[in-house]
Amino acid sequence: MKEKSSVFSRFGDKKNRGRLMSFALVIIAYIAVEVLLKTGSLGSMFSSLLVPITCYVVAAIGLNLNVGISGELNLGQAGFMSVGAFCGICVSGILAGSITAGIPRLIIAIICGAVLAAVFGFLIGIPVLKLQGDYLAIVTLAFGQIIKSIFMNAYIGIDTEGLHFSFVESNFKLQPGGKMLLNGPMGATGTQKIANFTIGTVLVIVALLVVYNLMFSRSGRAIMAARDNRIAAESVGIPISRTKMLAFVTSAALAGAAGALYGLNYSTLVPNKFDFNTSILILVYVVLGGLGNMTGTIISTVVLILLPELLRSLQDYRMLIYAVVLILIMLVTNNEWLMTKWKSLFSGKAKGGA
Amino acid sequence: MADNTDKNVKAPVLDVQDLGIDFGGLTAVNDLNMQVYDGEIVGLIGPNGAGKTTVFNLLTKVYKPTRGKIYFDGKDTAGKSVVDINKAGIARTFQNIRLFGNLTVLDNVKTGFHNVIPYSPITAILRLPKYFTSEKEINEKAMDLLKIMELDKYADYKASNLPYGAQRRLEIARALATNPKLLLLDEPAAGMNPQETAELMDMIRFVRDHFKIAVLLIEHDMKLVMGICERITVLNYGMMLAQGTPEEIQSNPEVIKAYLGD
């Protein structure tokens, strides 16, 4: 039995360890940041990045479910974030009169953002997930562009007569005292900032719970089976499109929730913020963190958001260094010699402990 | 002969009538008639390219037949999907092994319970009590299947890391998890050594008796086919060449000609 353990990788234990590690990581990071905040040793630049980091972590965890676990390329995660963001901003704006407390309003906004993004995901998924191949990548790419254009031309406002909506600026009139929620290319302005880091961390934990609970269940096994071998999955009675839809809609919902939190963290938000580059950036977090590896995704997201800020002093060379670091990380993580060294270090420790 | 008349009174589990399929101008299977009865082990043999795997793909609805009918459990299967036919009770393995390579051996078997022990994704995400009772049942039943297939010691290993023979047995375990009435095995002994093949024969017999299912198998290993099949259908160029007991098939001049040439 002992020789066999060394020949085959023990896979079951590794999965559980990874799950516990990601929760521990989030909680330790949260406590560390809170301590630094209380002692005032965290710069204003870093403290302003805290909520955006949690937003991108949630969106990246969602995308990893879609790309890593389900194996379908999605190039429009920012599009789902923008749906969630502007939905969340509108909901928060509408409810501002009736619910004055920030936290309940924020939670309602996040849920609404997640639901609306999930609905969009579902509608896109109906035709696309029946097909095999890279169609989802093409359609989500287009979705990201279309949704940006829609928000750039949408005017939504609220006044005493109720909610107003138009795609033509000249048709749009509000009663005096009315409030503009979404102002075309100007985006959302004058949003009440109700997001905070604690809620962001809670959202990260919720996202991890949703993804892990799904992964280690009947549905999760079906999603991974459909990814590994479509024909075999069908032969054991797994409906492929419905299974892929579940992963895609969950991923969209998480992006929507992340977007709502993001939108309510700024007083001004332009639709251009969620463009194709943002989608690719989230995909880079996922690929660099490792497909299907949630802990890796969290780490890579945090590092890749902080890195450009840390390199700010280098001014013009900033993005150059950023690119070099990206390439170096890829080289190191794909280096077999280094990985075996790393692994033997860990297994050596485990043996000593036992 | 008394046994045979007894079977004719009973309705067959699988009843194939005048089945045929054309790919463009090529007729891959034509005028195939065959029956499989409850608890029977039937062999489907023939030279390479005779259309044996095509028959499996027709039975499991991967291909839609051009002509003919397939009745399973007395019901016409026309218009059913691959997923429907599995739910109805036909499970299969593949000639070129198709496992879920990144999943553990245990999880591979667990996927087979997808429609046998179902619960919703919401139940999973919220970890409702039903999740725990269902998962416990799935886990126990999956481990039982692994024990039958002598794979329990590999339960935690990645499926793609298994030795070849074990991978074939894992496919059978996964197919059995779907609770079939009819099991289709596509070359289960391919790549196995004589000892492994002998063990596999015992396993197939045990599975048939234990789960009370019918087995239809494609195989080139004549020792296995003649050893465990109660009836054999021989295909050549997509047409049925002969049908009968192993003794009848072995002495059939048409069959010998098809295998050895003139």
| Rounded mean pLDDT, A140-152 | 93
Q: Is residue A1 over pLDDT 90?
A: no
The answer for residues whose C-beta is within 8 angstroms of residue B140's C-beta and 6 or more apart is: none
- In this prediction, residue A347 carries a pLDDT of 64
Residue in B87, B98, B177 nearest the CB of A231: B98
Residue of A nearest to B115 (CA): A237
In which region does residue B90 sit, left (phi positive, over 0), alpha (psi from -120 to 50) or beta (all else)? beta
Closest-CA distance, A191 to chain B, in angstroms, reads 33
Residue in A9, A237, A239 nearest the CB of B178: A237
**Would an 8 Å CB–CB cutoff place A337 in contact with chain B?**
no
Reported ipTM: the value is 0.90
- In this prediction, residue A17 carries a pLDDT of 76
Q: Given an 8 Å threshold on Cβ–Cβ distance, is B153 in contact with A237?
A: no
Residue of A nearest to B59 (CA): A235
Return the CATH architecture of domain B90-179. 3-Layer(aba) Sandwich (3.40)
Q: Given an 8 Å threshold on Cβ–Cβ distance, is A10 in contact with B157?
A: yes
Q: What is the pLDDT of residues B131-166, one digit of tens each?
A: 999 999 999 999 999 999 999 999 999 999 999 889
Class of the CATH-defined domain B1-86+211-262: alpha beta
In a domain? residue A179: yes
Q: Given an 8 Å threshold on Cβ–Cβ distance, is B124 in contact with A228?
A: no
In a domain? residue A330: no
Report residue B11's pLDDT band, with 50, 70 and 90 as the boundaries: confident
Q: What is the pLDDT of residues A71-82, one digit of tens each?
A: 999 999 999 999
The answer for residues whose C-beta is within 8 angstroms of residue B64's C-beta and 6 or more apart is: B21
Q: What is the pLDDT of residues B37-52, one digit of tens each?
A: 999 999 999 888 888 9
Residue of A nearest to B161 (CA): A8
Which residues does chain B have within 8 Å of residue A1's beta carbon, measured at their own beta carbons?
A: 153
Which residues does chain B have within 8 Å of residue A251's beta carbon, measured at their own beta carbons?
A: none
3-state secondary structure chain A: CHHHHHHCCECHHHHHHHHHHHHHHHHHHHHHHHHHHHHCCCCHHHHHHHHHHHHHHHHHHHHHHHHHHCCCCCCCHHHHHHHHHHHHHHHHHHHCCCCCCHHHHHHHHHHHHHHHHHHHHHHHHHHHCCCCCCHHHHHHHHHHHHHHHHHHCCEEEEECCEEEEECCHHHCCCCCCCEEEEEHHHCECCCCCCCCHHHHHHHHHHHHHHHHHHHCCHHHHHHHHHHHCHHHHHHCCCCHHHHHHHHHHHHHHHHHHHHHHHHCCCCCECHHHCCHHHHHHHHHHHHHHCCCCHHHHHHHHHHHHHHHHHHHHHHHHHHHHHHHHHHHHHHHHCCHHHHHHHHHHHHHHHHHHC
In a domain? residue A239: yes
In a domain? residue A318: no
Chain A and chain B share a number of CB contacts under 8 A equal to 114
Q: Which domain holds residue A224?
A: 14-275
**Would an 8 Å CB–CB cutoff place A2 in contact with chain B?**
no
Q: Given an 8 Å threshold on Cβ–Cβ distance, is B98 in contact with A229?
A: yes
Residue in A8, A228, A237 nearest the CB of B100: A228
**Would an 8 Å CB–CB cutoff place A233 in contact with chain B?**
yes
The domain total for chain A is 1
In a domain? residue A89: yes
State the DSSP code for B158: B
Q: Is residue A95 over pLDDT 70?
A: yes
The answer for residues whose C-beta is within 8 angstroms of residue A42's C-beta and 6 or more apart is: A33, A36
Which of the residues B103, B114, B141, B161 would you substitute to probe the A interface, choosing the one with the greatest number of A C-beta atoms within 10 Å?
B114
SS3 B255: helix
What is the largest distance, in Å, between two alpha-carbon atoms of chain A? 80
Q: What is the pLDDT of residues B227-236, one digit of tens each?
A: 999 999 999 9
Residue in A13, A217, A236 nearest the CB of B112: A236
C-alpha span between B185 and B71 (Å, rounded): 19
Residue in B100, B114, B158 nearest the CB of A9: B158
Which residues does chain B have within 8 Å of residue A228's beta carbon, measured at their own beta carbons?
A: 99-103
Report residue A9's pLDDT band, with 50, 70 and 90 as the boundaries: very low
pTM: 0.88
* Domain ranges for chain B: 1-86+211-262, 90-179
* Same fold flag, B1-86+211-262 and B90-179: yes
Q: Is residue A350 over pLDDT 50?
A: no
Residue in B86, B100, B104 nearest the CB of A229: B100
